[in-house]
Amino acid sequence: MIWSQLNSLEQWNVVFESEEKFIVFKHSTRCSISTTALSRFERDWDTSSSVKPYYLDLLEHRNISNAIAQDTGLEHESPQAILIENGKVLKFASHLSIYVAELLEA
């Protein structure tokens, strides 16, 4: 799977305001649960999906995570996967409840 990295607030604002359907995976590189969820997510990803996956390293970019929480109205969790289209949350999951198939069926 090929991730697009979220590295700036400006980038987040552009992506969030776009009309594309995308998933943000918020990952803590120090958390074993997050590592497990990320590994499973990558293994189960449907490469034929038109949904664009974005990866956010929470330890490097907590400010972006805070903006995501504010813009979506979702409480920050880690790990967390959020499916968004046209600035609206379609589905979200956290921790070991993150399943690619369930997110993509929304």
Write down the mean pLDDT value for the chain.
95
- pLDDT tens track for 75-91: 999 999 999 999 999 99
pLDDT higher than 90, residue 101: yes
Give the DSSP H/E element, type plus range, for residue 24: strand 21-27
Q: Give the domain ranges of the chain.
A: 4-104
User: Which residue in the block uniquely carries the two structure tokens 């497990």?
Assistant: 36
pLDDT in tens, 49-73: 999 999 999 999 999 999 999 999 9
CATH architecture of structural domain 4-104: 3-Layer(aba) Sandwich (3.40)
Q: Given a cut of 90, is residue 1 above it in pLDDT?
A: no
Question: Does residue 35 have a pLDDT over 90?
Answer: yes
| Banded pLDDT at 28 (limits 50, 70, 90) | very high
Those residues whose C-beta lies under 8 Å from the C-beta of residue 70, and which sit 6 or more positions away, are: none
- Find, among 2, 7, 5, 4, the residue nearest to 61 by Cα: 7
pLDDT at site 85: 96
What pLDDT is recorded for position 18? Answer: 93
Size of the chain in residues: 106
Q: Which two tokens stand for residue 68?
A: 């995501």
